[in-house]
Structure 1
């Protein structure tokens, strides 16, 4: 006797003893179906997840999707514009080096360039000369074209033979010491240098304007000779009371050195003024 599908099976002989072999086979068949169902369902789930991941990748990488429509492409945000460099031109530099500034010495070395008027006040301005903490009072000044009359000893002929054009003199005094400086003017630097190198005798002292006669009548005094550009300059210095100068009289040497340095600076400044005028730049 048997029941419908799914019912228990009974063994042969019509007894009520179940057919255990049939039941075991039926149970094994159900287990096999359940196992295949589970395997099949897992495969379907895995396929579904893979499809979702693939879809997400394609969506995130829209540029790689050959089937993407133009409409979808237009809906994507446009890439940000990067700033561009300014079109304004940068600074330009000339490859040509500017000419060097004029040399002041050129303008006091040749009469053709040294054209500023020569005067005693231009070389020796004011009433006093200050050098450091030393103040010297200016005495008399003189200017002449008869160069020989401003000298003592052989210097007159030396100036004349080298073509001296004029001599400017000025005297300064300080604490019983007086110094006369004389500037002799020549056409060229070579002539002035030669006159200074040949110097013998010296410039004659210039008295007046509060300064008595000094360095005359055999009095021993200090004398110097130098040149710069087309100018030769000489000094004679000593005591206003007629005392002879010795090497120990440093005050006489100090006043003479101040006058020598000042005269050099004045000649150089004369060159600076003319060089700057040629270059179009002012000089203080």
Structure 2
């Protein structure tokens, strides 16, 4: 380094320290040449230059010491963070501490639990028409067979007369009356439907239990309910051959008798009579089942 020149830049801003002025030649305010303590020639002031050099060296050492201290603090901070981070994971693992979400007493472990519940199954409509103890809805021929007609597919059957009696054997032919009476029949409800000269009477025998109705159905061999005329339907199936059916559902056994209003005998070729008889038998089943549905629905709404 040449005397009289500033040293290299220091500090984070890259600024150079103030350069000392060189003392060459005569300067204003300085003793003239040849004065005591000053050479008579233009010789550099070595003492001043040495002092400036020493000042620069001292500042350099202070900057180096300061920078080193800052670096040491930064390294110490990094090491401290690393140690804390390492302790945060290793200590938990070594000590067997569960994650915060599973620590006993934590919010996550105190979430309420609810047992799985299922709504009860809906009542079976048949339960309500299988026993007089539950089958409490009003019962009548007009109520069981309402309206003035019955439509099945494209067929429309006009409803004729309805009737009901507690003397079950009085509205039957053949051995059917005795079968009903011996098994505890309480009522027989009848209704007649007619279409295109074919008339069908359906008779519903009512019992206290399903077992009684089923026994009648299984034991049935001969006999029919009496046909019911009136309300536009002439007498039929009194002296002619007619087709009859029987079945049961719940505490009800139901029967049909069908034939021609013209007095013609029914043969196996008369499909219209068979179809009409099956349609009206299906109506009886449908209406009995609907009775059970109505009472089951009421039980759900008013437990």
Q: Which TM-score tier does this pair reach, normalised by the shorter chain?
A: 0.5 to 0.7
TM-score by structure 2 length?
0.64
Q: Is 1:158 aligned to residue 179 of structure 2?
A: yes
Normalised TM-score (structure 1): 0.68
The aligned counterpart of 2:231 is 209
Aligned to 1:16: none
Distance 1:281 1:263, change over 3 A: farther
Counterpart contact for 1:58–1:65, Cα < 8 Å: no
Aligned with residue 194 of structure 2, among 161, 165, 173 = 173
1:230 counterpart = 2:251? yes
Q: Taking structure 1 as reference, are residues 241 and 104 closer, same or farther at Cα in structure 2, changes over 3 Å only?
A: same
Alpha carbons 1:139, 1:211 under 8 Å: kept: yes
Q: Secondary structure at the match of 2:298?
A: helix
Asked whether the 8 Å contact 1:107–1:114 carries over to 2, the reply is yes
Are 1:149 and 2:182 matched, yes or no?
Answer: no
* RMSD value, Cα: 3.0
How many residues align? The count is: 216
**Structure 1 stretches of 5 or more lacking a match?**
1-47, 67-85
Q: State the Cα distance separating 1:269 from its structure 2 match.
A: 1.1
Following superposition, the deviation at residue 55 of structure 1 comes to 6.0
Equivalent-residue separation in structure 1 for 2:248 and 2:80 (angstroms):
96
State the Cα distance separating 1:98 from its structure 2 match. 3.4
1:191 Cα offset (Å): 0.8
What 5-or-longer segments of structure 2 have no aligned partner?
Answer: 1-62, 82-106
TM-aligned CA deviation for residue 124 of structure 1: 0.4
Distance (whole Å) between structure 2 residues aligned to residue 132 and residue 90 of structure 1: 59
| Whole-Å separation in 1 of the counterparts to 2:269 and 2:290 | 33
In the superposition, relative to structure 1, how do residues 278 and 220 fare at CA in structure 2: closer, same or farther (>3 Å)?
same
Equivalent residue for 1:123, pick from 117, 120, 144? 144
Q: Cα offset for 1:198? A: 2.1
Between the aligned partners of 2:72 and 2:155, the Cα distance in structure 1 is 97
User: CA separation of 1:97/1:139 partners in 2, compared to 1, >3 Å: closer, same or farther?
Assistant: same
Q: Tell me, what secondary structure is at the counterpart of 2:255? A: strand
CA–CA separation in structure 1 for the residues paired with 2:113 and 2:232: 64
